[in-house]
Structure 1
Amino acid sequence: MHKLFWGGVLALALAGCEAPREQVTIHGRDAVPERLSDWHIVEVIDGELSLNAGVTPYDLNTQLFTDYAHKLRTVWMPAGSSARYAEEAFDYPMGTVLSKTFYYPKAGGGGVLRTADYSADFSRSGLNLEKVRLVETRLLVKREDGWQALPYVWNAGQTQATLEIAGDAIPMQLVGGEGGSNAFTYVVPDANQCAGCHADNHTNKAIRPLGPRARHLNKEYVHKLGSYAEGAQNQLLHWQQIGYLSELPELAAIPRNASYSDNGFPLEERARAYLDINCGHCHNPAGPADTSGLMLHRAEQDQRRLGLCKPPVAAGTGSGNRRFAVVPGRPEESILSFRVESTDPGAMMPELGRSLVHEEGVALLREWIAGMPGDCQ
Structure 2
Amino acid sequence: MKKLTILFVFAFILHACDKDDSFTPVCDIVTNVAANSITRNSAIITWNNTDDSASYTLEYGISGFVLGSGVIVSETNLSTQLTALQANTTYDVYIQTICSSNNLSSYTNVYSFTTLEPAVVPELRPTLSELNLFSNNLYDLNITSLAFEYNLNTTLFSDFAHKQRLIALPDGTSMTYDGDGLPIFPDNTVIAKTFFYNNNERDLDEGRRIIETRVLIKINGNWESGNYKWNGEQTEAFLDLDSSILPVSWIDNDGITQSVNYKIPSNTDCFTCHQSFDNLKPIGPKLRSMNFNVNGSNQLQGFIDNGRLNGITNSTSVRSLPNWEDDTYSIEDRARAYLDVNCASCHIPGGQCEDQSDTNFAYETSLVDSKIVERKETIEFRISDYNEGISMPLIGTTILHTEGVELIQAYLDTL
TM-score normalized with structure 2 length? 0.69
Residue 22 of structure 1 and its aligned partner are, at CA, apart by 4.1
Q: CA deviation at 1:260?
A: 0.6
Match of 1:358 in 2: 401
Q: Of the candidates 132, 142, 147, which is equivalent to residue 208 of structure 2?
A: 132
Matches within 5 A, 1:149-160: 149-160=225-236
Could you give the per-residue CA deviations for residues 78-103 of structure 1, whole angstroms, max 9, x where no partner exists?
A: 11111110122211001111110101
**Is 2:318 the counterpart of 1:257?**
no
- Cα distance in 2 for partners of 1:362, 1:18 equals 55
Unmatched 5+ stretches in structure 2: 1-62, 68-89, 93-109
Q: 1:344 aligned to 387, 401, 410, which one? A: 387
Specify the alignment match of 2:351 in structure 1: 287
Q: Secondary structure at the match of 1:51?
A: coil
Determine helix, strand or coil for the equivalent of 1:26.
coil
Distance in 1 between the 2:64 and 2:395 partners?
58
In structure 2, the partner of 1:208 is 281
**Which one of 250, 256, 274 corresponds to residue 198 of structure 1?**
274
Match in the other structure for 1:298: 363
- 2:412 pairs with 1:369: yes
Give the Cα–Cα distance (whole angstroms) in 1 for the partners of residues 255 and 366 of structure 2: 37
* SS of aligned partner of 1:172: strand
Structure 2 contact 163–195 (Cα < 8 Å) conserved: yes
Per the alignment, residue 246 of structure 2 pairs with: 170
Q: Pick closer, same or farther for the CA change 1:356–1:62 going to 2, 3 Å.
A: same
Q: Is the 8 A contact 2:139 2:235 kept in 1?
A: no
Change (3 A) 1:294 1:76: same
State the partner residue of 1:93.
186
Task: Please give the residue correspondences for 1:175-194 in structure 2 after superposition, counting only pairs within 5 Å.
Answer: 175-176=251-252, 180-194=256-270
State how far apart, in whole Å, the 1-side matches of 2:392 and 2:170 are. 37
Aligned partner of 2:137 in structure 1 is: 45
2:340 to 276, 293, 298: 276
User: Which amino acid is 2:408 matched to?
Assistant: L
* Matched AA of 1:339: R
Q: Is the 8 A contact 1:44 1:159 kept in 2?
A: no
Pairwise CA distance, 1:21: 6.2
| CA displacement 1:292-323 (0-9 Å, x = unmatched) | 11111112114363321x2xxxxxxxxxxxxx
Write the distance in 1 (CA, Å) between the matches of 2:65 and 2:398.
Answer: 55
The SS at the match of 2:279 is coil
The answer as to whether partners of 1:24 and 1:52 remain within 8 angstroms in 2 is no
Determine if contact 1:174/1:184 at 8 Å carries over to the other structure. no
CA distance in 1, matches of 2:246, 2:115: 35
Is this contact kept in 2: 1:58–1:221, CA < 8 A?
A: no
How well do the aligned residues superpose, as a CA RMSD in angstroms?
2.8
What code does the residue aligned with 1:80 have?
G
SS class of match (1:268): helix
The answer to whether 1:56 aligns with 2:148 is yes
1:151–1:167 contact (8 Å) kept in structure 2: no
Structure 1 352/9 Cα, relative in aligned 2: closer, same or farther at 3 Å?
A: closer
- For the residue of structure 2 that corresponds to 1:195, the secondary structure is helix
Amino acid at match of 2:150: Y
Contact 1:80 1:243 in 2 (8 A): no
Q: What SS does the aligned partner of 1:290 have?
A: coil
Q: Distance in 2 between matches of 1:51 and 1:238?
A: 17
How far residue 355 of structure 1 moved from its aligned partner, in angstroms, is: 0.4
Deviation at 1:178, TM superposition (A): 8.1
Identity percentage over the alignment? 28
User: 1:9 deviation in Å?
Assistant: 7.8
Q: Distance in 2 between matches of 1:250 and 1:209?
A: 23
2: CA distance between counterparts of 1:10 and 1:41? 28
Q: CA deviation at 1:47?
A: 6.1
Counterpart of 1:146 in structure 2 is 222
Q: Shift in Å at residue 236 of structure 1?
A: 1.5
Q: Does structure 1 conserve the Cα–Cα contact (< 8 Å) formed by 2:197 and 2:250? A: no
**Aligned equivalents of 1:168, 1:272: Cα separation in 2:** 31
Q: Distance in 2 between matches of 1:106 and 1:344?
A: 27
Unaligned runs of 5+ in 1: 1-7, 108-112, 122-127, 223-231, 311-324, 327-333, 373-377
- Could you say which residue in structure 2 is the equivalent of 1:103? 196
Residue type at the aligned position of 2:305: Q
Take 1:58 and 1:27, find their aligned partners in 2: how far apart are those partners?
19
- When structure 1 is superposed on structure 2, of 50-59 and 248-257 the one drifting more is 248-257
Alignment of 1:16-95 (within 5 A): 20=115, 22-28=117-123, 32-43=124-135, 45=137, 48-87=140-179, 88-95=181-188
Q: Number of aligned pairs?
A: 312
Amino acid at match of 1:72: Q
User: What is the alpha-carbon distance in structure 2 between the residues aligned to residue 218 and residue 95 of structure 1?
Assistant: 24
Q: How far 1:44 sits from its partner (Å)?
A: 5.5
Equivalent residue, structure 2, for 1:228: none
> Counterparts of 2:341 and 2:261 in 1: how far apart (Å)?
23
Contact 1:35 1:161 survives alignment (8 Å): yes
Higher Cα radius of gyration: 2
